[in-house]
Amino acid sequence: MVTTLGELIKAARLECGLRSEDLADAIGVSRTYISKLENDRMSNPSLEVLRDLSQILKKPVSYFFDTPIAVQFFESLPQDVQEHVRKIILEPSGVTLESDGSQVLEAFISYFRSQSSNL
């Protein structure tokens, strides 16, 4: 069973038939960077790298996350922030905390993408 971010990246890369060099070139990072990610020597890639990985590997960004992480993140927020997030991010997307964790994460991603286009 695949459980770490590195294992997920490597499994998706192999599924696409890509060499690590090909993936590195496609997203504009070094082969060493990909190796560190795949071997769990680096576990915090930027959102831009995750976005690029998801595009090249044909996976939703949520693929790279353990789905309960999105819910755990939400629950770690102060109560007033939780209410704000619920009203401006989750409810407009038709998502609740009882939804699949990947749906919660996708609601966050959609919201932040819409905000970044306003900058």
CB atoms inside a 10 Å sphere around CB 27: 19
Q: Which residues contact 31 (CB under 8 A, 6 or more apart)?
A: 20, 21, 24
- Tell which residue, 35, 32, 30, has the closest CA to residue 9: 35
- Tell which residue, 1, 43, 47, 39, has the closest CA to residue 20: 39
End-to-end CA distance of the chain: 41
Q: Which residues contact 94 (CB under 8 A, 6 or more apart)?
A: none
Q: What is the pLDDT of residue 15?
A: 95
Domains and CATH numbers, the chain: 5-60 (1.10.260.40), 68-116 (no CATH)
Compute CA 10 distance to the chain's CA centroid, rounded to the nearest angstrom.
15
Q: How confident is residue 66, by pLDDT bands cut at 50, 70 and 90? A: low
Contact yes or no for 6/39 (Cβ under 8 A): yes
Q: What is the pLDDT of residue 100?
A: 67
The model's pLDDT over 39-56, given as tens digits with 9 standing for 90+, comes to 999 878 888 898 899 999
